[in-house]
Structure 1
Amino acid sequence: MPSLNATTSTTNKTLGHPLNAWYVAAWDHEVTKDSLFARTVANRPLTLYRTDEGRPVALADACWHRLAPLSQGHRVGPDEVQCPYHGLRFNSAGRCTYMPAQKTINPSAMVPSFPVVERHRFVWVWLGEPTQADTSLVPDMHQMDSPDWAGDGSTLAVEANYQLLLDNLMDLTHEEFVHSGSIGQTELSESDFEVTHDERTVTVSRWMLDIEPPPFWLKNMRDKFPGFHGRVDRWQIIRFEAPSTIRIDVGVAKAGTGAPEGDRSQGVNGYVMNTITPHTDRSCHYFWAFMRDYRLDSQLITTQLKDGVTNVFGEDDTMLAAQQRAIDANPDYEFYSLNIDAGGMWVRRLIERMLAAEAPAGTAS
């Protein structure tokens, strides 16, 4: 276990959001050819749509003329949007193609157009320096569209800074207290864990051996192995990828059958997929899914898992919103960190480095 022998404090309760990074703006099915989709990402209102060829586009949601929201307008032509106020039209590059009552188009008439990539069932947007928009930096969420995994997810609007949700996901000992009726158990806070990291990732690994399965995992074992009873080996391997994506490799297997050594054949394995997009400084969009590698053809299990995880995350949502309100009400109070916060502290450190790299020369991070 990481050795943080003394309780430490920090006034850095929440961090800003790097802009030279990929954030999910929407699920792929939310962005269409026929309509405009509004979404605020990192305090930047966007309008999203697809061209006639199906390519996703993200423009600033403010017309060049009088800043009317383009998302309230219409799709026109092969790749254009029309402002709802005075009818100006802009193509997918953000350049104005039509102005009412005049033949000459002002050459400065443009709105920002942001790099977009479609991957892992999501539409990702880059709000920072366009020349740095490297698609190889899109976080790995391959289980979302792999034929070896099945599942579904949703989006939560969380009234809390995105960093508080990252803290929540990097330390799952809170399950013992917040989710005691479903996935929580005392072994979570009693077990050792290991933290590793590099320049873009942080991994927290925890194994709980020879324990009673909590209700959620007992049901899943019985979905795959009808009539199962007995003790299990349980794992949680949390992998953060900067700036705000966390995949959690979770599951249980019959105790003593070799799961810690890599044999999970007598168990059930899931991936909790999480990517968090800042909305404002005090709210975020939480895109999540639960993917599994068993009974892939069962829509019933997919629906049951989605409903169950929705209830679990609803409990997190309530706690995080209350935490944000307490932070706002107590600006002079500090945060304190325990051993269990080691993974989250490394996440904060990586985000701080990204923010420092974006800071203008000569300014303090």
Structure 2
Amino acid sequence: MTTSTERSTGAGRAKSTAKLLNFPLNCWYVAAWDHEVTAQKPLARRLCDIPVVLYRTKDDGRAVALADACWHRLAPLSQGKLVGDNEIACPYHGLRFNPAGRCTHMPAQETINPSATVPSYPIVERYRFVWIWLGDPDKADPALIPDMHQMDSPDWAGDGKTIHAEANYQLIVDNLMDLTHEEFVHGSSIGQEELSESDFDTEHDDRTVTVTRWMHDIYPPPFWRKNLRDKFPGYDGKVDRWQIVEFQAPSTVRIDVGVAKAGSGAELGERAEGVNGFVMNTITPETGRTAHYFWAFMRNYCLDKQLLTTQTRDGVSNVFGEDEAMLKAQQEAIEANPDHEFYSLNIDMGGMWVRRLVERMLDAEGRPTDLSKARG
């Protein structure tokens, strides 16, 4: 793993085209929360510009993902109904397809055309999510699913939501890799000026990028002051604050965050005198300008307090609402200024490495790296 230390202030700049990245397909994306996929009604979702229908089989409850277009006349299967133990029926002429995508019934004839199939995509359920592989199915290795084990660990509690983001998925990843924006976008909750003043380390390998930032002997912002007092009622002193942002290809960002009483050894791993959370983020492109943004906030303190889970989820949701508005405005500005070039500061180091890794994935698949080339 390569390591570099960058200061968040500085005049060094790199210039690059303000491009919106295309999306690799030989990788795992989240298609839905596990509770969204049912055996009662098909779920339609566009993933990486591919229409997909999701449902559960009634016989064993497993999740299924098929192309959302009937072999016969391309009618959306998601508008059909689930029949029998594990099949879906087309709403137009009643053709039925099994989980492998093979037609099992055609109306008014006994012989079924052997070519009557629709694509079936590999599915894995893990960490409260349904993961889908949209590329070469022979390469669908479950070991490549990003690590989000805090989502279903008994040592962590929390909940999350989905944002339908009106922005290219890479803009969301860029936003998560540089948290100095919190000082300006989230000043009333988690932002503070020490974010821009602190040093950070950047590490990377062929599938991950990690940005680590520590802020010592500071007063916590409102969000963390409240959470610290939930565990230590009445505490009003200074803290050591950390943000450890880990990108996992192609678009998952897991952020280890928290504060501990100043000088209590948090940076050395002694976090008992603090509160620790993980902001879990995984983004699935919908189209080149929209994305499904699945997120959750997980904590390892006050595990039995459902009220705290709900309050924290709603509080983080309000914070992300501010990000959502900014990302939409940025997307619109990029489209309005197609010849503009990005200027990258030192604080963009993590995001720049992420883009390099994604571009390598796209090159390996022989796919264009940016959407303007992809669409000719």
Q: Name stretches of at least 5 consecutive residues in structure 2 with no aligned partner.
A: none
The alpha carbon displacement at 1:5 in A equals: 5.9
Task: For residues 188-226 of structure 1, give each alpha carbon's deviation from its aligned partner in whole angstroms, at most 9, with x where no partner exists.
Answer: 000000000011000000000000100000000000011
Q: One-letter code of the match for 2:293?
A: Y
Partner of 1:26: 32
Partner of 1:234: 241
Q: Name stretches of at least 5 consecutive residues in structure 1 with no aligned partner.
A: none
CA distance in 2, matches of 1:113, 1:261: 48
The alpha carbon displacement at 1:159 in A equals: 0.2
Give matches, 1:158-237, under 5 Å: 158-237=165-244
The alpha carbon displacement at 1:12 in A equals: 4.5
CA distance in 2, matches of 1:196, 1:12: 24
CA distance in 2, matches of 1:360, 1:17: 9
The alpha carbon displacement at 1:360 in A equals: 6.9
Correspondence for 2:275 among 268, 273, 278: 268
Partner of 1:286: 293
**1:2 maps to 2:2:** no
The alpha carbon displacement at 1:178 in A equals: 0.2
CA distance in 1, matches of 2:228, 2:255: 18
Partner of 1:257: 264
Task: For residues 137-183 of structure 1, give each alpha carbon's deviation from its aligned partner in whole angstroms, at most 9, with x where no partner exists.
Answer: 00000000000000000000000000000000000000000000000
Q: One-letter code of the match for 1:234?
A: R
Change (3 A) 1:215 1:360: closer
**1:296 maps to 2:296:** no
RCO higher in structure (CA 8 A, sep ≥6): 2
Partner of 1:339: 346
Q: Secondary structure at the match of 2:312?
A: helix
Change (3 A) 1:269 1:36: same
**1:277 maps to 2:284:** yes
Correspondence for 1:88 among 73, 87, 95: 95
Q: One-letter code of the match for 2:31?
A: A
Partner of 1:108: 115
The alpha carbon displacement at 1:355 in A equals: 0.2
CA distance in 2, matches of 1:62, 1:335: 39
Q: Determine if contact 2:158/2:296 at 8 Å carries over to the other structure.
A: yes
The alpha carbon displacement at 1:280 in A equals: 0.2
Task: For residues 246-266 of structure 1, give each alpha carbon's deviation from its aligned partner in whole angstroms, at most 9, with x where no partner exists.
Answer: 000000000011011110000
Task: For residues 5-34 of structure 1, give each alpha carbon's deviation from its aligned partner in whole angstroms, at most 9, with x where no partner exists.
Answer: 631111152211000000000000000111
Q: Determine if contact 2:24/2:367 at 8 Å carries over to the other structure.
A: no
CA distance in 2, matches of 1:82, 1:169: 41
CA distance in 2, matches of 1:321, 1:57: 32
Q: One-letter code of the match for 1:141?
A: M
TM-score w.r.t. length of structure 1: 0.98
Correspondence for 1:35 among 38, 41, 46: 41
Which stretches of structure 1, 4 residues or longer, exceed 2 Å deviation after superposition?
A: 1-6
Partner of 1:51: 57
CA distance in 2, matches of 1:313, 1:359: 34
The alpha carbon displacement at 1:2 in A equals: 2.6
Q: One-letter code of the match for 2:33?
A: W
Partner of 2:337: 330
The alpha carbon displacement at 1:35 in A equals: 1.2
CA distance in 1, matches of 2:139, 2:310: 39
The count of residues paired between Structure 1 and Structure 2 equals 363
Task: For residues 112-146 of structure 1, give each alpha carbon's deviation from its aligned partner in whole angstroms, at most 9, with x where no partner exists.
Answer: 00000000000000000000000000000000000
Correspondence for 1:146 among 127, 144, 153: 153
CA distance in 2, matches of 1:167, 1:6: 18
Q: One-letter code of the match for 1:18?
A: P
CA distance in 2, matches of 1:82, 1:274: 34
CA distance in 1, matches of 2:18, 2:328: 18
Aligned-pair identity in percent equals 71
The alpha carbon displacement at 1:79 in A equals: 1.1
Q: One-letter code of the match for 2:57?
A: T
